[in-house]
């Protein structure tokens, strides 16, 4: 076990599976599960009680908040934010023998409590609102919300509202 993995496991009571690759400056909070063969990029932050299953890929500078579930075969791009309690699924017709992950492209924002169906792609720079239930692909630069999630705007409008809120 590498020094970084041993330190993370011993001090924070995490489980880190075999053949996990962890980049530089990764911060993993308490009681986190990371499954086998997962790849985590540089400068990633993972919150407490997150469950990241096997064969997951996470890009650089991504932030995953507490209590998030990320199933096997999920691919998460760079500069992604995943809010607390978000759940991705991996079985579109449970309980089936065939699983598929979720794809989250670079720069996407998944807000708290969102639920994303297996096989869905969240497009580059898209935003999934809190509590949204995403059952189909989200195009790039699109804001979706609701149950089921539908388009409610674009990323430019979202960023303007965020900037106004922050100032």
Per-residue model confidence (pLDDT) at position 13 = 78
Please give the Cα distance from 8 to 110 (Å, whole number): 26
**Domain CATH code at residue 42:** 2.160.10.10
Per-residue model confidence (pLDDT) at position 1 = 46
Query: How many domains are contained in the chain?
Result: 1
Give 111-166 pLDDT, tens digit per residue: 999 999 999 999 999 999 999 999 999 999 999 999 999 999 999 999 999 999 99
8-12, 96-100, 162-166: least confidently modelled range? 8-12
Question: Are the CB atoms for 145 and 152 separated by under 8 Å?
Answer: yes
pTM: 0.90
Per-residue model confidence (pLDDT) at position 92 = 87
Burial class (CB in 10 A: 0-12, 13-18, 19+), 149: buried
Give 11-70 pLDDT, tens digit per residue: 557 899 999 999 999 999 999 999 999 999 999 999 999 999 999 999 999 999 999 999
* Residue-range definition of the domain harbouring residue 125: 3-166
């Amino acid at each position: 076990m590498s020094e970084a993995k041993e330190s993370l496991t011993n001090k924070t009571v995490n489980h880190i599976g075999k053949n996990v690759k962890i980049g530089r400056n990764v911060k993993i909070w308490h009681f986190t599960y990371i499954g086998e063969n997962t790849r985590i990029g540089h400068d990633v932050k993972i919150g407490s009680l997150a469950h990241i299953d096997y064969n997951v890929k996470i890009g650089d500078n991504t932030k995953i908040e507490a209590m998030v579930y990320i199933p096997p075969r999920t691919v998460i791009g760079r500069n992604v934010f995943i809010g607390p309690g978000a759940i991705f699924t991996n079985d579109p017709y449970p309980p089936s023998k065939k699983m598929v992950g979720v794809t989250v492209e670079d720069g996407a924002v998944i807000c708290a409590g969102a639920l994303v169906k297996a096989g869905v792609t969240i497009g580059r720079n898209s935003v999934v609102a809190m509590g949204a239930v995403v059952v189909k692909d989200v195009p790039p630069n699109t804001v979706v919300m609701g149950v089921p999630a539908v388009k409610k705007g674009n990323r430019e409008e979202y960023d303007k509202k965020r900037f106004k809120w922050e100032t």
